Chain A
Amino acid sequence: MLMIITGDSAIDIFDLKKLLKQNFKMKDLGELCYFLGIEVIQSPKGIWLLQRQYALNKLTKYGLMSYKPISIPLEQNVKLNVDEGDA
């Protein structure tokens, strides 16, 4: 079980962590940087969410690590139409 804590009151977050650690067995992982396969990078400009590790794991699992990366795997400039193609 994991907990994400956020808010604008640093003092209250600090106190909460301290109380939680006293009452339950917990490990403070510090700043959030990884959850459910998503990497989190926090910066003053904003928060980046990336699934790099997840993608790497999948590629390794299916033995595709030696494949060349391509920026757009889909065919470009295809116009999809409601009336065409198989349902």
Chain B
Amino acid sequence: MEQESQLINGPQEFSISGSSSTPWKGILRSLNIVHGSSQTSSRNPHVDDESSDSEKSVGEESRILLVITPKARMAKKVLKTPDNNNGVQRSTFIKYHVQKLTYDGFVAHHYTYMVKVIQEVETTCFEQAVANPKWDNAMDEEMAALDANATWELVALPEDKKAIGCKWVYKVKHNADGSMSKYKARLVAKGYAQTYGIDYEETYSPVAKMITVRAIIAMAATKGWSLHQIDVKNVFLHGDLHEKMYMEQPLGYVDQTHPNLVCRLKKTLYGLKQAPRAWLDKIGQYFVTSGFQTSNANFSLYVKKTDHGIVVIVIYVDDYHRR
């Protein structure tokens, strides 16, 4: 598998697999797909006739490889794979069903755009990222931000607790014209390893129902109020964590003097199940201390009466933009 992924992630060839979310997906639809002509797409029947079951499964391997290069090329790779059953190294042809994508049919404007976009390759692997100064800087920035936010403290892991893992996620941010705007590294907790009742309790986030928003708009219309909107950033990062959560030290930033300690999380982190809920609790508390009252019908509705009049706040999740 490793050999394969090396082939696919090689510097010259860019592969698209169905599951990964690359910025290409939309672009791909507009590309011409040229099918490889001379490649065999079906397995060789002679191999099957004489071989055992395990060999069959090797012989059946037929991968789809998308090659995107400015110039179309053929791809045919020979892999040395150890045969598990008898421990003998044998050569296997992995028959790539090659689909080539070329930029040749593009108008100059789109060509430049594509070239700009593919120049920046996102990595999924820490070892690759750390070797690249741009990603290395991005990780330094993220760590500085987490430090400034006092996201965790280093403690010894209690015996009855387990530390969840974390992972670096790398993303190239593009400007509207396709040029690179920023390298962003984000530390994400593996929230799926959290156990209900131990690592988290409440995850339900009370956000506005459509009917509440409509009622507020109807009221604004009759009363002649103006409506304003605010976008809240980093919802995942500002919440206080009430549960005792332990996380392994992030890869590449392990404290050299205390490598065995773990991070006791004090603030929520991306990926934690309770992160949005914790944020809503926090902002709710903030509103209450500033004199707002929560609606009994909808907890995401806050109202405050002042000397000058009334202020109404509705919180809702935008599922139409990012995230």
Residues of A within 8 A of B (CB): 1-13, 16-17, 19-20, 23-33, 35-37, 40, 42, 44, 46-47, 49
Contacts and interface: CB of A to CB of B under 8 A. Distances in A.
Contact of A36 (B235, B238, B318): B318
A8 B313 contact: no
A62 to B, nearest CB: 15
A1 B317 CA distance: 5
Interface stretch (B49-57, B178-186, B212-220): B212-220
Contacts of B213: 4, 35-36
Contacts of B11: none
Contacts of B315: 1-3
B276 to A, nearest CB: 7
Contact of B230 (A11, A20, A37, A49): A20
Minimum-distance CB pairs A-B, first 9: A9-B309, A32-B227, A9-B308, A7-B311, A8-B309, A29-B229, A47-B221, A25-B233, A27-B231
Given A7-B312, A9-B310, A2 B228 contact: no
Contact of A3 (B229, B234, B290, B309): B229
7 contacts: A2-B229, A8-B224, A10-B226, A29-B228, A31-B229, A42-B227, A47-B221
Contact of B316 (A8, A13, A23, A35): A35
Interface in B138-164: none
B176 interface: no
Interface residues of B, number: 43
Nearest to B303: A7
B279 A1 contact: yes
A24 B320 CA distance: 22
B225 A2 contact: no
Nearest to A25: B233
Given A1-B276, A23-B286, A26-B230, A6 B320 contact: no
Contact of B308 (A11, A29, A37): A11
Contact of B310 (A7, A20, A44): A7
A17 B207 CA distance: 20
A76 to B, nearest CB: 29
Given A17-B228, A27-B230, A5 B238 contact: no
A2 B318 contact: yes
Interface of B: 207-208, 210, 213, 216-217, 219-221, 223-235, 238, 276, 279, 283, 286, 290, 304, 306, 308-320
Contact of B228 (A5, A9, A44, A46): A5
Contacts of B232: 1-3, 24-27
A24 B237 CA distance: 10
A10 B227 CA distance: 10
Contact of B311 (A5, A36, A37): A5
A24 B308 CA distance: 25
A8 B311 CA distance: 7
A40 to B, nearest CB: 7
Contacts of B319: 36
B309 A12 contact: yes
Nearest to B319: A36
Given A17-B228, A42-B226, A4 B314 contact: yes
A80 to B, nearest CB: 26
A28 B311 CA distance: 16
Given A25-B234, A31-B229, A32-B227, A37 B320 contact: yes
A23 B290 CA distance: 12
A6 B228 contact: yes
Contacts of B234: 25
Contacts of B276: 1
A5 B217 CA distance: 10
Nearest to B286: A23
Given A1-B279, A7-B312, A47-B221, 14 more contacts: A1-B235, A1-B318, A2-B231, A4-B313, A6-B228, A6-B311, A9-B310, A17-B228, A25-B233, A26-B233, A27-B233, A30-B228, A36-B318, A36-B320
